[in-house]
Structure 1
Amino acid sequence: MDIKTFGELINWTRDLHAHLARCLSHCATKNEEARAQALLDYLATHESEMERIVNEFKSQGDSKVLETRVYDYLSHHPIKTHRTCDEPYAQLDFEGICREVFDFHDQIEDLYRTMADKAEIPEAKELLQSLLTMEENEAMRLARQIGRMNDL
Structure 2
Amino acid sequence: MGHHGMDKRFWICGIVVAAAALILGLLVHGLLLRADYQALATLYRSQEQANAQAAWILPAYLLLGLAMTWLYRRMPASDGVDLGRGARFGLAVALVSYVPGHVLAFVGQPLPLSLMLRQVALDLVAMVLLGMLLAWLQPHRRGLLPPP
TM-score of the pair, normalised by structure 2: 0.48
Higher Rg:
2
Higher relative contact order (CA 8 A, sep 6+): 2
